[in-house]
A and B are shown apart, each in its own frame.
Chain A
Amino acid sequence: MRALERKLLRDLWHLRGQAIAIALVVACGVATVVTTRVGYESLRESQAAYYTAYRFADVFVALERAPESLRRALAAIPGVAAVETRVVAEVTLDVPGLAEPATGRLVSIPAPRAPILNDVHLRRGRWIEPGRPDEVIASEAFADANGLEVGDRLGAVLRGRWQRLRIVGIGISPEYVYEIQGTNLFPDNRRFGVLWMSRDALGPAFDLDGAFDDASLQLAPGAREQDVIDRADRLLDRYGGLGAYGRKDQISHSFLSDEIRQNRVFGTIMPAIFLGVAAFLLHIVLARLVATQREQIAVLKAFGYASLDVGLHYLGMALACVIVGSLLGAVLGLWWASAINRMYAEFYRFPVLRYAPSATVVAIGAGVSAAAAIAGALSAVRHVVALPPAEAMRPEPPASFEAGFFESTRAYRRLPASLRMIWRNLARRPARAALSVLGMSLAVAILIVGYYFVDAIDYLGTFQFRSVQREDVTVLFHDPRPARARHELRALPGVLRAEPFRVVPARLRHGHRQRRVALFGIEPGSELRRILDADGRIVPLPREGAVLTAKLAEILAVEPGDELRVEVLEQGRPVRSVRVAGIAEELIGLNAYMDANALHRLMREGDSLSGAFLRVDAAQAAALNTELKRMPAVAGATTRLAALRGFEDTLAKSLDVFTTVLVTFAAVIAAAMVYNAARIALSERGRELASLRVLGFTRGEVSVLLLGEQAILTAAAIPLGFWIGYRLCAALASAYQWEFFRMPLVVSTRTYGFAVVVLVAAALASALAVRRRIDRLDLVAVLKTRE
């Protein structure tokens, strides 16, 4: 082995603490890339594979009733590759063990089994058999939530007739990766579920024998979705078509896509932040490490080693850390990714979850971090290598010996000698002190970023389910009811307050932009449902016009004062024009609100209600549920707590996993940074401290000099870290503006506190390690050799 290589190995061994710390920083960077990217790609590929294998449709449409013969006309639309006609109906279910009524969406499937669009994947049990009208396949999410198994029975009210259904299979479908009912924001798998049932049983039960009320279309490659939608709408107009829509308006798909997109943003922004921080930290660490070796560099150059040789030698040091770190990071990242993948498998209900740890992702992760590290190392090495050897052989000249302003004040002179020395030392090299502070504040910042997600999700949950939604139960009718229905609701047991609302499904159009939403008519002065902006201020409902969620306004590109075309998708499908009266910075959902009376005028209808928000006396909840179950007009009742659970089980859960990973990584990076800063300070000043010891300073006094300095730098890093962390969170929040939710910019005291605790703990542990070294400082050896 060449002497230079040997020096590399020995130096690495000598600096192993620091080298490990650097490797850990790199590992965390790489692991972040690998975990998030592999997570994202696995999810995306699983989704794509699922959609293909189970032929998820491209265009969907519900209608009142059309003869089966119309199927051919649909298939004849240019660009349509396949058509599936179905009977779909929602019914009230009586689920064993569930107090409240549940809603079942009955979806027809062929018996015996035949290939269909939106095909069902059987998890357990068997397919329904022809001639047995009571057999159903239940969706897995619904079955799991209610503890239902193959062989269990359910009660259902089919068009007023009570019927018993028997579960013969448990299945999933690409159409219902998420099962979200109507206007709800999140899945409530206990109270809403899909049941697949024979067309032969469902058709007659809903008076749709030889007819259908729902169709799905698959597009041929290259077909234009909007053209097909327009043609389908024209075709189905006579049959009470409720407006065809593409995948982006299909609830399960858009919810899932949002989640996957979230993962992608997460997998881009977070690694970028982490790698950026890691590269910068590496630069600081290596620059100082190299600087402590400037005399050795001079010797190498004096004997004829070219700058390139010397540069490569030090780059080798960085590379060794990067390679070890990358390997560790790849292993760690893959391990996390597979753990996350197992969680996804439960969570997303795909038939097979692809675990896609492509070599490319790992290579990219390692490559990007290596590049970042080398960039950091290069800039550090270049400066020193460029010095002429004669100059490098002298110790770095002190920047300035002049007494600064502070040193001429009386306050300064009153300081104890040790503090004055600390101050001198910091003031003499302000750039180095500033870099140290910046490095540690970045560590604080990523801790804050990691924990920020917890804050945002907490806030989101509290905001939506405490401040916006304040009802206990939401009741929804099958069809709008006349005004007297509100008295019936108020008369129900346990109902303390009932606020009726009117909701119509509608397609909002502005120019070529359009979106399907639920248009809510809310009573003025509603207490149980409030429209709040992001700061929690109530947005008043104007007497005329609609208030839109900011995100919806952005999608439609409208501002207050603009006219919207509203195509109502029920009851004769009127098309009206509505002025945008206001924008609300709501955090969850894409909503459009109007004053209930304005909505009635829009619909040219009298006072009527689609449902009501109820405040309920908890003691009588059971009695209320029994009553609701028995009311044929009630399509479903959801409780706020169930909705909160739906929120926690979806959004919160998937973000939580990542947050845990991130916070761990951030803590490791922070600790590694602080340790490195302290260790380098020790090697930079080892000789000076040893000289002081020789002059009679005690270990304690010497430690105070070094550690005191570190303490001051650490303290200075905290406020700066808070600021940088907050700015990064703001950047994240602005990237996290999804259709289903918007990330609020809230950073809690807890998060700041957590960052400080980690930083201080790391600083104390490092101080202890450094103190041990100071105690063992071999005075003779230090003074004898020039390092």
Chain B
Amino acid sequence: MDEAVFRARGLSKVYRVGEVEVHALRDVDLELRRGEFVVMLGPSGSGKSTLLNILGGLDVPTSGSVSFLEHDLSGGDDRALTAFRREHVGFVFQFYNLIPSLTARENVALVTEIAANPLDPAEALARVGLGDRIDHFPAQLSGGEQQRVAIARAIAKRPDVLLCDEPTGALDFETGVRVLEVLERTNRELGTTTAVITHNASIAGMADRVIRMRSGRIVEERRNERRLAPAELTW
């Protein structure tokens, strides 16, 4: 936990909807270090997803710079961003975004097929406790199960960076803990830099660092003395 892999300076993101300008991010500075586990908190609409999307190369900032190691993520070169996502990033989206016409296993395979050193899809699904549902289509799974497939999909490529937008939003306590354990294990075993957005403040206990956002700004950064194991969390 030394070198900074992500460096963001003066990040802003402005959406224009007709006459109105929405400032989703305002002048955000941020560094994420290799292997760091970061939790992001903040009220709805505070810009968490926007920030995560920019870090993941899904979107580019309106102004400011952001880079991952030697990759420049603010340039907007589609090919470079694609290569970055393909080689380094695993995503868990707020709305799962599974492909409805593919089974759980195939949704995972979709990602492992273009990865250099992936897990077996069945094994990734087993890790999130869905070993017996691998041939089910998203429509045949509950919301929480779909969310776990999304997580299996994200970790299966053994990414360098794992970006999760509310990965436990739809889960009960026990399953939630289980999912967090998967994330923690991936982070610990592979040294995956992990950022997790959540509305659940107690999850912050397992982070190295907690970032709190409001109105497009980082309003608080806190470092935990000790990372709690997911099983030690309560909510």
Contact = CB atoms under 8 A, between A and B. Distances in A.
Given A298-B97, A393-B93, A4 B87 contact: no
Contacts of A303: 85-86, 91, 110-111, 114, 153
Contacts of A306: 79, 82, 86
B98 A785 contact: yes
A300 B93 contact: no
A785 B138 CA distance: 7
B102 interface: yes
Interface stretch (B3-11, B52-60, B182-190, B210-218): B52-60
Contacts of B110: 3-4, 7, 300, 303
A307 B99 contact: no
Given A6-B102, A299-B99, A303-B110, A781 B58 contact: no
A785 B146 CA distance: 9
A6 B139 contact: no
A318 B101 CA distance: 18
Interface in A1-37: 2-4, 6-7, 10-11, 14
A396 interface: no
A252 interface: no
Interface in A729-787: 781, 784-787
A302 B139 contact: no
Nearest to A310: B82
B100 A787 contact: yes
Contacts of B143: 784
Contact of B87 (A302, A304, A389, A784): A304
Contact of B101 (A2, A11, A295, A301): A11
Interface string B121-164: 00000000000000000110001001000000100000000000
A3 B106 contact: yes
B73 to A, nearest CB: 12
A608 to B, nearest CB: 87
B53 A390 contact: yes
B93 A781 contact: no
Contact of B113 (A2, A390, A786): A2
B105 to A, nearest CB: 9
Contacts of B79: 306
A78 interface: no
B60 A786 contact: no
Contact of B58 (A295, A389, A787): A389
B78 interface: yes
Contacts of A784: 138-139, 143, 146
B100 A785 contact: yes
B58 A307 contact: no
A412 to B, nearest CB: 23
B82 A305 contact: yes
Contacts of B180: none
A786 B150 CA distance: 13
Interface residues of A, number: 32
A305 B112 CA distance: 11
A304 B86 contact: yes
A777 to B, nearest CB: 13
A533 to B, nearest CB: 59
A304 B114 contact: yes
A302 B85 contact: yes
B74 interface: no
B59 A388 contact: yes
A4 B86 CA distance: 15
A625 interface: no
A391 interface: yes
Nearest to B86: A304
A261 to B, nearest CB: 51
| Interface of A (DSSP majority class) | helix
Contact of A785 (B17, B109, B139): B139
B58 A388 contact: yes
A650 interface: no
Contacts of A146: none
A393 B59 CA distance: 11
Contacts of B101: 7, 10-11, 14
B83 interface: yes
B58 A305 contact: no
A442 to B, nearest CB: 31
Nearest to B143: A784
Nearest to B111: A303
Given A3-B107, A389-B58, A390-B58, A305 B114 contact: yes
Given A3-B102, A3-B110, A14-B101, A304 B83 contact: yes
A296 B99 contact: yes
B98 A10 contact: no
B114 A299 contact: no
A307 B89 contact: no
Contacts of A295: 97
B95 interface: yes
Contact of A3 (B91, B100, B113): B113
A5 to B, nearest CB: 10
Contact of B97 (A4, A6, A393, A781): A393
A346 B138 CA distance: 62
A454 B151 CA distance: 65
Interface in A121-150: none
A643 to B, nearest CB: 65
Contact of B59 (A7, A390, A400): A390
Contacts of A6: 102, 106
Contacts of A304: 82-83, 85-87, 89, 111, 114
Interface string A253-297: 000000000000000000000000000000000000000000110
A726 B53 CA distance: 53
A745 B165 CA distance: 65
Nearest to A298: B97
A700 to B, nearest CB: 26
A11 B102 CA distance: 9
Interface string A449-481: 000000000000000000000000000000000
Interface string A382-417: 000000111101000100100000000000000000
A304 B56 CA distance: 11
Contacts of A397: 17
A393 B98 CA distance: 12
A393 B50 CA distance: 12
A307 B78 contact: yes
Interface string B63-88: 00000000000000011001101110
Contacts of A389: 58-59
Contacts of B91: 302-303
Contacts of A393: 58, 93, 95, 97
A311 to B, nearest CB: 12
Nearest to B50: A390
B142 to A, nearest CB: 8
A296 B101 CA distance: 10
B141 to A, nearest CB: 8
A13 to B, nearest CB: 9
A10 B102 contact: yes
Contacts of B100: 296, 785-787
B163 to A, nearest CB: 10
Contacts of B114: 303-305
Nearest to B139: A781
A415 B100 CA distance: 38
A307 B97 contact: no
Contacts of A307: 78, 82
A219 B212 CA distance: 97
A298 to B, nearest CB: 7
A25 to B, nearest CB: 24
11 contacts: A296-B97, A296-B99, A302-B93, A303-B86, A303-B111, A307-B78, A307-B82, A389-B58, A393-B93, A784-B139, A785-B98
Given A301-B85, A389-B58, A786-B97, 12 more contacts: A2-B113, A3-B102, A4-B113, A10-B101, A295-B97, A299-B97, A300-B99, A304-B83, A393-B97, A784-B138, A785-B139, A786-B95
Instruction: Give 5 closest A-B pairs by Cβ, nearest first.
Output: A304-B86, A390-B59, A10-B101, A390-B58, A3-B110
